[in-house]
Structure 1
């Protein structure tokens, strides 16, 4: 039996061997993964802040279903360790350890649901609760040294919406449908920034052309002082750099200028291309869920390169106590209305 298994493994290609290796790692680290335990540790670390009003004036208030309960002295509301987290209102949270490796492997929602033993709708909700939790690290991400930044545009999508406010798009080219040229409200602007240390920050900015105000809103608290900002000739970036007293290096790729000494925008351009290629596997992403996929993309290399992707993901999502609220607030995002 042992020789037979080893023989079968040796016949696998490198990609399948890597996938098998990750599965074995998952089994080895499975007993160490306990999201409730990690949430408890993190909640203590942040002084049990109230998820409703963010007050630090809280105290213990007994247990509910075996979980520590708290009460806020300011807003008087009760909350538990799981309030606002991925596991809030989750009836089968023990299955997250089964679901997460399947999600990270890139399996379809239908396959994830089948392998985990949950419905397809639950698989969809779990995916976006997890990705909403990863958004915490996009909000806290800081860029330093030499930072490259650029905008990229993706078609506005109402995938899954049964009541479109526009005519549905047709596959392929049609002489009867005139597409808007250039940058317009049919496209969504994503601001991509990365530094030479490998840190990435990706955020949906707006529909249509990006403005200096959009850039300031997104990057104002994300770039450390004395950072050198490298961009193309977009005037909005120049205005942002001047306002925040940053050294700004303009690389005019349109004029076939690809490098200026140590300064270039090759990393951010490559990131934009990799993002588009990676997103093709999802067969289209609704714009209202786009930020969640950007959260995933920004952290996927950190997760995949860890010793146990399952454990790393659990540790990441256990530190977010606003994931549930952000997941519920998706329908109110300003750029989807």
Structure 2
């Protein structure tokens, strides 16, 4: 008797298996995700994905452990489709209807993706000519309950970009300029021999004057950083407001757009699963509060 598959359910299942197996095949495991031990052995495979057993804690793990969609019951193609929709900046409601997932699931998936991108948004170094600008964004409590204040303080967002298109953008402080926070989040990336050009801020100008001293470079304007406040303002409007506790993760996606980097859902998916990008739903936003 010939079994038919008119709805392609078996084909889709096979494609999901092959895709997931291929994606995780080249993932590098540096240590046990449970105890961080370096000694582990191969321990069979499950659904084509290599498993390991740690010699130090005796727990098992696999090439998929702590990846972006660890423990997710949804298939890989659906995740990749969702990542594409995140890149296209579609609304959560659109994503939920398109992929037939709940609105709550779409919310957490978006923040899992953004959190994963945040790991890779920090450049190794900012060299040569470095351009810095700021944007003050009113504090946003979108999605929060039991708000105890009517005040909306300004959040200082600093963007720094080198002439070779390496860039970082981070919220560094609330209400007032904070030099220590700036040093920890931005300045430590700037090469000592770099020349800093700043726009429209006396605090940043003071940092540049102290850093540059006798350094002489042929300096050009960087239009993307010079107009950074306006560009970021227009970009955020698409989301109808971004909660302050999630702002840093949204900035990691913003960087990909402002530097015009070619991105697609497949390459982003591969990028997100190569490291430990997993975050539990109850941890989303906690590190930013």
Structure 2 length normalisation: TM-score?
0.79
SS across alignment from 2:256: helix
Q: Distance in 2 between matches of 1:35 and 1:143?
A: 36
SS across alignment from 1:59: strand
Which of 285, 295, 298 is matched with 2:242 structurally?
A: 285
* Displacement after TM superposition at 1:310 (Å): 2.0
How many correspondences in the alignment?
A: 271
Answer yes or no: is 1:106 the counterpart of 2:89: yes
Q: Distance in 1 between matches of 2:205 and 2:39?
A: 41
Map 1:1-337; keep pairs closer than 5 Å: 34=19, 37-43=22-28, 47-94=29-76, 95-167=78-150, 186-232=153-199, 234-235=202-203, 238=206, 242=210, 246-247=211-212, 262-264=219-221, 266-300=223-257, 305-306=262-263, 309-324=264-279, 328-333=282-287, 336=289
Q: CA 1:138 to 1:80, structure 2 compared with 1: closer, same or farther past 3 Å?
A: same
CA-to-aligned-CA distance 1:227-253 (integer Å, 9 cap, x gap): 1122255446745885xxx4269xxxx
SS across alignment from 1:215: helix
Measured on the aligned residues, the alpha-carbon RMSD in Å equals: 3.2
Moved more, 49-58 or 276-285: 49-58
Q: CA 1:97 to 1:278, structure 2 compared with 1: closer, same or farther past 3 Å?
A: same
Q: Distance in 2 between matches of 1:187 and 1:78?
A: 47
* Displacement after TM superposition at 1:218 (Å): 0.8
**1:216–1:240 Cα contact (<8 Å) kept:** no
Q: Distance in 1 between matches of 2:38 and 2:260?
A: 31
Structure 2 spans left out of the alignment, 5+ residues:
1-14
SS across alignment from 2:276: coil
Q: CA 1:266 to 1:97, structure 2 compared with 1: closer, same or farther past 3 Å?
A: closer
**1:154–1:188 Cα contact (<8 Å) kept:** yes
SS across alignment from 1:71: strand
CA-to-aligned-CA distance 1:160-216 (integer Å, 9 cap, x gap): 11211224xxxxxxxxxxx7xxxxx71212121111222221112122223221111
Moved more, 314-323 or 115-124: 314-323
Specify the alignment match of 2:5 in structure 1.
Answer: none
CA-to-aligned-CA distance 1:47-100 (integer Å, 9 cap, x gap): 433334544333323334543222334455433222222111111132113222
Consecutive aligned runs of 4 or more in structure 1 exceeding 6 Å deviation: none
CA-to-aligned-CA distance 1:281-337 (integer Å, 9 cap, x gap): 10001111111110111123678634xx12222122122313425x65334335x3x
Specify the alignment match of 1:257 in structure 2.
Answer: none
Larger helix fraction of residues: 1
Q: CA 1:315 to 1:64, structure 2 compared with 1: closer, same or farther past 3 Å?
A: closer
